Structures are given as structure tokens and as C-alpha cells.
Amino acid sequence: MPYIEKIAIEKARKINSSPAIYGTFAEIGAGQEVVNHFFKAGQASKTVAKSMSAYDMTFSDQIYGGSGRYVSESRLSKMLEHEYTLLQKRLKKKRGHNTKFFAFADTVAVSTVGKSNNTSYHHGWMGIRFQSEYKAPYNEIILHVNLLDKTRLQQYEILGVLGVNLIYSAFYGKKDHKNIIKSLFDNFESSRVDIDFLRCSGKIFKNLNHHKLNLELIHQRSTEALLFQNKGKIILPSDALYGKHILIQQFSTADKLTPSHIKKVVSYINNTKKIKSDPVSLVNIPTQYLKNRNMSHYLKKYTSSSKKNRNQYILVSDFNKLYELKRFIRKITDQHIFIIINAKNFIKILKRPHNKVSSNDILEFSSRLYDKKTSLIIPDYKNVKVSTPFDHFEKYLVKTKKLVYLK
């Protein structure tokens, strides 16, 4: 038996040994990988009131109601609501005085034979609604996970372990920012999954700061980036950026650009690339800039609740280099990516390219950054004075419109 499965079964056994913890499991899309650990641990009847998996879409809709997308937060929420309400309705009177009820659910898409190995296929939503005390209102933990293993069996394995960790954390884990995330990754390498959304709600989480909790995902290397919308709402990057044209500002550049600069860039994009709608605007803030300020400062500065800025987002990430940021965005969209950079920073790139592999090779840096639909735009052209060994290469980039100067 693999070590990680052994530890997961031991955790399930501890939960099974507590007569006070009792609930249901509803798993869609990747078998019943989580509840299997409780069956293998023995005495599962002390914990499992019901286990089910509705694979057929019609059956699923009849149980939980239609939701459009089957691997989505809305589907997960309907599953938790249905199962927890049913559990309370049927068992509260009989054993509610000495039982802490829970409903666990996940809806997951894993590797499928004949489909590409694109990670967009290997993801899911997972959550638990649970009581921390008898007869108490419920608490809830919801997360989104990207499965990074290559094979379906490996994805099944890690999904089961993650689910057990989530349930164990709900009842036995410490409820602070660092330990909640640490407990989810207990017993396996974080490189196997990427958790890019985490929400905890309920009385026992009243002291948690939602922004700080999610930023901890980056600090603990549990994800590469988080996307913030108006009013600080955290959303999945794929939900906002998939199939869209993206206009990117690096934090180091954003403070130096005026609204007229941005307007000039958008006008160029619409006129030259024949894009009918404005691109999604994104400001990337590397986590190193958050040390002395909290997230609310930047949310207020770079986003607005006004209707005209509904397509403006903040990406908080570990991406200090342009090509790292571009690589992340390119995994989500195949449309145009426009990166705004001011003249001063562009000169720095030419003179001292940010490239760990070969710090003196601007060609390698450019090969990582550019593709057919990626452009670098400099809106303050009058300040550009290129005098480097790469001035000929710079002219080539301008001619091919990989580099755009706006007067």
C-alpha cells in the first residue's frame, strides 16, 4: 500500500472511530475516491450515512437541479445544499443532540482517453459543510483544485487523499491561515495539485481574513497566482480570462502610466487588431510588493465597482518576469496578449534581461516571451533611446510588430 494512502486511511480510521461525526458523501466525475478511504479503514458505518455518485447528467439534474456546467462552484454548492439539508431533515430529530453532521461533495474532471493532456481537463471543486458543535449552524470549506499528475490513476489517488485531508482538517485541524492550507497538503507534495481558490465560512472561521487566507496559498507554493475582481472577490483565472484578449500591466509599470496612456493603447488595439470589444485589463502584482500593504489598498487603486471597469482585474502572483506571466496567461487563452511596459523598464530589459538560464542572452528571453499573438507595447515612445548591442534586434521586433511604440 502506498505511503500516502496508508496515512489517509489512518485519518479516515480516526474519523470513523468518533461516533459524533456522521455524514454523506456525494462525488461526481472521478468515482468515489474519498469515501473509499473510509470504507478501507473499517467501521465506515459509524461515519457514512450515504455515499453516492450521479454520473448521468439527467440523473444529476433530477437530484441537484440544472446548473449549466457540471464541474463548477454552482454545481458543488447545490450538491452540498441538497445533501446537508436532506441529512438534517432525516436524522436531526433522531441523533442531532449527539452528532456533528457533515456533507462532503466533489465534482471533478480527470484525464479522459482521447482528449488532450491540457490541465483544463483535470480540475474540480471540492467542499464540506459541517457542524463544529452539536445542534450548531454549519461551517463550510470550498476549494478549487487543478490536478497536475499525468495519469488518471494518479489523479484519482491524489483526489482521494486531498478529500480525506479536507474532512480531517474540518474536524481536527487548527483554524488559522497557515494551518488550514498546510493540513490540506499534508502527506503529499504540493507539486501534484494546484489550489487556486479557497473559501472558509461559518462561525469557527470568523477571525479569518479571506484575502490573507488565499494569499497564503501563494506563500506556501500551493498555487502560482490568484485573480481578484471588483470589490475584492476572488475568482478563477480561467472563468475571467478564457478565450479573451488580455491587456497586461506589470505593477512596476502600472504606477507610471496615466489614463491617457491606457486609452491610447486600447485605441491602437481596437484599430490595428480589429478587436471589437475592449480586451480584459489585468494588473500583475508580484507578492513581494504586498509586504508593507494589504490587498485592499491595491484593490481600491486598480479596480473599481463602476460598470465601465467590470473587465479590470488584479493578478497576484509569483511572476516577476514577463515571460513567466505570459506563460501562465497563454495556458488560459489563445487570443492576443498585449503587455504594456514603459520606456525605462524596456531599456532595463535590453541591457539586463531577467533570465536565470542565460542572463546575457536577450534572444532567449525574447523567445520565451514572444509568440504569434503576443506584443509588447510602449505608450511613452518619446522617452525611448535604445543604444545597446541589440539595437538591430529591437528594430526587427518593431518591424514585425512584436514591439510597438505609440507616439
Q: What is the pLDDT of residues 340-375, one digit of tens each?
A: 987 777 777 666 544 444 445 677 778 888 898 999
> At which of 189, 223, 257 does a domain end?
223
Segment 126-141, tens digit of pLDDT: 999 999 999 999 999 9
| 138 DSSP 8-state letter | P
**Statement: the pTM of the whole predicted model exceeds 0.75:** yes
Do residue 199 and residue 266 come from a single domain? no
Q: What is the pLDDT of residues 322-331, one digit of tens each?
A: 889 999 999 9
| Same domain, residue pair 162 and 16 | yes
> How open is the CA angle 278-280-283, to the nearest 5 degrees?
130
- Structural domains of the chain, count: 2
Judgement on whether residues 245 and 216 belong to the same structural domain of the protein: no
- Identity of residue 143: L
Q: CATH number, domain at 68? A: 3.90.950.20
For 50, the domain range is 3-223
Domain end (from 200, 223, 246): 223
Rg, Å, the chain Cα set? 24
Shared domain check, 64 and 33: yes
| Interval 77-81 mean pLDDT | 95
Q: Is residue 228 part of a domain?
A: no
Query: Is residue 242 domain-shared with residue 219, that is, in the same domain?
Result: no
Residue 43 pLDDT: 94
User: Is the residue at 385 inside a domain?
Assistant: yes
Question: Which parts of 53-185 are beta strand (E)?
Answer: 100-109, 123-130, 139-147
DSSP 377: E
**Same domain membership, residue 71 and residue 196:** yes
User: Using an 8 Å Cβ cutoff, are 45 and 19 in contact?
Assistant: no
Separation between Cα atoms, residue 330 and residue 335, nearest integer Å: 8
243 shares a domain with 216: no
Band (114; pLDDT cuts 50, 70, 90) = very low
Last residue of a domain, one of 223, 257, 275: 223
- Within-domain flag for 117: yes
Q: Are residues 296 and 192 in the same domain?
A: no
Q: Does residue 163 belong to any structural domain of this protein?
A: yes
Of 316, 312, 290, 293, the C-alpha closest to 303 is 312
